[in-house]
Amino acid sequence: MSKTYHLLVGLHFTICTLAMIWPGAVIANRFEPTVLGMPFLMFWYILWMAVLFVGTWIAYGVRHGGDRHE
């Protein structure tokens, strides 16, 4: 796998981590607007869990997508 790939995956992981701790989560620290009935701070975590899932899925697809046998 190329250097760019590893760099992008690393960046994806770093951004998701920073979004869930200080300082990323600080900007979401409020009640309004509520989403699906949840306070915004709680929704923020639900959202980033989804971002992590989708990003890692793409990373998996790029690396292992074609090969059915390893």
Partner 1 sequence: MNDSFIVTGITLIYLVAVLWLGLRARSQSASSLEGYVAGGRHVGVVILFFILGAEIFSAFAFLGAPGWAYKHGSPALYILAYLSLVPIVIWSMGPRVSELGRKRGYLTQGDMLADHYDSKPLGIFAGVIGVLALVPYLTIQIAGAGLLFQAATDGLVPFWLGALLALLVTTAYVFCSGLSGIGWTNLMQGIMMIAIAWFLGLAIPERLYGGVGEMFSQIQLQMPEYLTMPGATGMGWGAFSTAILISAFGGAMWPHLFMKFYSADSGRSLRRVSVLYPLYAYLLVPLLFIGFAGILAFADTPLERPDTVLLKLVMEVADFPPWIIGLMLSGALAAAMSTGANLAHTAGVVLVRDVFGATLMRNASDATAVKVTRWSVVGVSLLAYVIALLNPSSLVMLLLGAYGLIVQLMPMALGALFFRSLKRHSVLAGATVGSLLFLLFQFAVDSPFGWHAGVWGLLANVAVVALFQVAVAKKPATREAAA
What are 54's two structure tokens?
A: 């989708």
| Cβ-count burial 11-25 (b if 16+ within 10 Å, e if not) | ebeeebeebeeeeee
Closer residue to partner 1, CB minimum distance, 4 or 33: 33
What phi and psi values does residue 38 have, to the nearest 5 degrees? -95, 150
Contact string 9-48 vs partner 1 (x = CB under 8 A): x---x--xx--xxx--xx--xxx--x-xxxx-xx--xx-x
Q: Which residues bind partner 1 (CB under 8 A)?
A: 9, 13, 16-17, 20-22, 25-26, 29-31, 34, 36-39, 41-42, 45-46, 48-50, 52-53, 56-57, 59-60, 63-64, 70
